[in-house]
Amino acid sequence: MNALKEALRKIPGTTVFDADHSRRGYALNMWCMTLQFEANRTAFKTDERGYIEKHSLEDGQCQAILDRDYNRLLELGGNIYFLSKLAAVDGHSFQQIAARMCGVPVEEFQQMMIKGGRKPDVSVKQDKEQ
């Protein structure tokens, strides 16, 4: 299993959400769950930093929330299903946050998914034998 995790970690942009990662992100993910309640969403919208600081999060997690840096939040233990609670506070869908995470407009992300996902940027050279 360790060989598989290491192989997956070598894929650019891949975050392996394993037990260690889950433990690291537990407080962050539970913080996201607080946003399911209207009073908490209102408190967060009123004073984002103040609301975040009432919880025991890592400094990096706090800043990533404020920046809405979903890729960084994943690196810091966030689970996309919990992070969707944060996106919903801003009125964003999964497609919108996925497009943001890929660094492309939503329309481009939608077309990319229709075509089967992002293709690696690899120059293909002709084989000398052809």
Unique residue bearing structure tokens 């990533």: 64
Q: How far apart are CA 23 and CA 35, in angstroms?
A: 20
77: left (phi over 0), alpha (psi -120 to 50) or beta: left
Helix (H) or strand (E) holding 17: none
Q: Is 75 inside a domain boundary?
A: yes
Q: Is 4 inside a domain boundary?
A: no
State the pLDDT confidence band at 5, using cuts at 50, 70 and 90.
Answer: confident
Tally of CB atoms within 10 A around 28: 25
Decide if 67 contacts 76 (C-beta within 8 A). no
Mean pLDDT of all residues in the chain? Answer: 86
Q: Is 10 inside a domain boundary?
A: no
Q: Is 126 inside a domain boundary?
A: no
- Check which CATH number belongs to the domain holding 102 and give it: 1.10.700.10
Q: How far apart are CA 62 and CA 3, in angstroms?
A: 32
Looking at the structure of the chain, the number of domains it has is 1
Q: Is 124 inside a domain boundary?
A: no
Tens-digit pLDDT profile for residues 82-101: 999 999 999 999 899 999 98
**Amino acid, single-letter form, for residue 43:** A
Mean per-residue pLDDT for 49-58? 94
Q: Is 104 inside a domain boundary?
A: yes
Residue 62: domain span: 15-114
Q: Is 70 inside a domain boundary?
A: yes
